[in-house]
Amino acid sequence: MLNFRIVVSTALLWCLGVAAAVQVSKMTLTLKPLSEYYGVPESSVGVLISAIGLLAVALGAVVTALPALLGITRTLFSCCILAIGCSMLQYTLPSFGLMLAARIVEGLSHLGIVIVAPTLMSLIVTKKMRGLVMLLWGTFYGVAFALTSWLGAPLLERYGQSSIFLTHACFTAVVTLALFAYLPRKTDAPYGAQPSTNIEGAICLRFESIRFRQSIQWYCRQHTSTYVPANIRTPAVGWFFYTPTFVSIIAVLSSYATSENLLIVGFLPLASVFTSVFVVAVLVTKLPAIRISKIGFCMAAALCCLLILQSENMLLLAALFGVLGIIQGASYASIPQLNYAPTNQILAHGAMTQLGNLGNLVGVPLLILIESYWGIQGLFLAVATCYGIAAILLGRSQIKIPDERFKEA
């Protein structure tokens, strides 16, 4: 029988993931209003979307050591408080430079939440439930973009862009308080009981006497332990190409949409949520999750080629987002499938966050710039190229899948 407290905690951790994804989606919705408010082109505002990934790119693999240093729950709540503070600052609509700085700092909270929350979800449920929980976690991105379109559009129209930031701060605060009340208190135990070189390196950073050279060596070791093992890095490889394309397509479609059909655009991410939960749940019993991701990227590339010819075809757009949901769900499902140890899982989540934010940092402004010069057809051509490269890289990766059912993969 399921423990009520664990069920509620799992749901709240997922809600916290939605709040973290809204840190990205809220900027895609306010792309045009902020461009008018600051008097800069939309491609410049696109930097505000991707700026959240700046610290994640630099510190993605390093932050994975914070749970060992501070405790996993303390790390999570610290990031939540930082996220609330950044949203409240953005609510005041400060100067463009200060808004950019707030987005960069907000990236640290985003990084901590999306690394720690799914790891906590895996730790508090039984082994049999981990795969299902990761499928649930994989929906947070699509749900966040759908909610932003549905609930954010009326707020934006009636109260202006500042209301989006205030609502996000309040939502994050409510979830944080509820999580503080319900989350089991013994979730730090696995990390305190499993000392490793990563943990030792994090503890070493606490002492002022540490040499700069030792810090650099530890930083390099942390990235080596994350990106050398194929089972840890492979889910992140596809994620690097997935995240900027998803965000860019939503941002561009939102800017094209009128107030009447913006709700229709909001339904598109729900197609990804549906396939991420229900379709992937069936597919992972038949195929390795990484193979599902590879097939998904091939299908997405083909659909983008069709959208070059019929960019306003809503059925093709819905099919594309459905396939993106398969990629999303399979990517997260592959982490516990390839990594049984909690320490490896948190490294894999860190790698996905780091490379995903690197993709956002570089890809979102670039793709929006491509769209501004060559239109939406140019955007879909660039996105199709990204998906093709991802499929090739996943096909060439050497992975040992421990589950005997997938031995042939």
Res 347: pLDDT: 82
Q: What is the CATH number of the domain that holds 100?
A: 1.20.1250.20
Which residue shows structure tokens 């091939």? 298
Unique residue bearing structure tokens 């040499």: 211
| Distance from C-alpha of 61 to C-alpha of 230, rounded to nearest angstrom | 15
| Cα gap 79→223, rounded to integer Å | 22
pLDDT of amino acid 191 = 40
Which amino acid belongs to residue 167?
Answer: T
CA separation (Å) from 129 to 180, 215, 281? 23, 38, 12
Residues in the chain: 409
Q: For position 253, what pLDDT does the model report?
A: 78
> Any alpha helices (H) in 138-211, and if so which ranges?
140-147, 153-159, 162-182, 189-192, 197-204
Cα separation of 129 and 121, whole Å?
A: 10
- Show the low-confidence residues of the chain (pLDDT under 50): 1, 189-213, 404-409
Query: CA–CA separation, 346 vs 352, rounded Å?
Result: 10
At 269-323, the pLDDT tens digits run: 888 888 888 888 889 888 888 899 999 999 999 999 999 998 878 889 899 999 9
CB-side neighbour CA atoms (13 Å) of 262? 22
Q: Identify the pLDDT of residue 2.
A: 60
- Is the distance from CB of 100 to CB of 51 less than 8 angstroms? yes
Note the pLDDT of residue 400: 59
Number of domains in the chain: 1
Q: Give the integer Cα–Cα distance in Å for 72 and 64.
A: 10
Domain span at residue 71? 4-406
Angle at 357 between CA 354 and CA 360, to 5 degrees: 155
Nearest partner of 51 among 98, 85, 91, judged by Cα: 98
State which H helix or E strand residue 91 sits in: helix 72-91
pTM for the complete prediction? Answer: 0.73
For 195, the 3-state DSSP assignment is coil
Compute CA 133 distance to the chain's CA centroid, rounded to the nearest angstrom: 16
Tokens of 225: 């332990």
> What is the C-alpha separation between 221 and 289, in angstroms, rounded?
28
Alpha carbon 181 to chain centroid distance?
Answer: 25
313 secondary structure, DSSP code: -
Q: CA 53 to CA 384: how far, in whole Å?
A: 23
- pLDDT at position 308, please? 93
Which of 146, 400, 401, 128 minimizes the C-alpha distance to 265? 146
Q: Which helix (H) or strand (E) holds 82?
A: helix 72-91
Beta carbons of 41 and 141 less than 8 angstroms apart: no
- Three-state SS for 138? coil
Helix, strand, coil % in the chain, rounded to nearest 5: 85, 0, 15
What's the Cα-to-Cα distance from 379 to each of 29, 51, 255, 319, 388, rounded to whole Å? Answer: 18, 21, 14, 17, 14
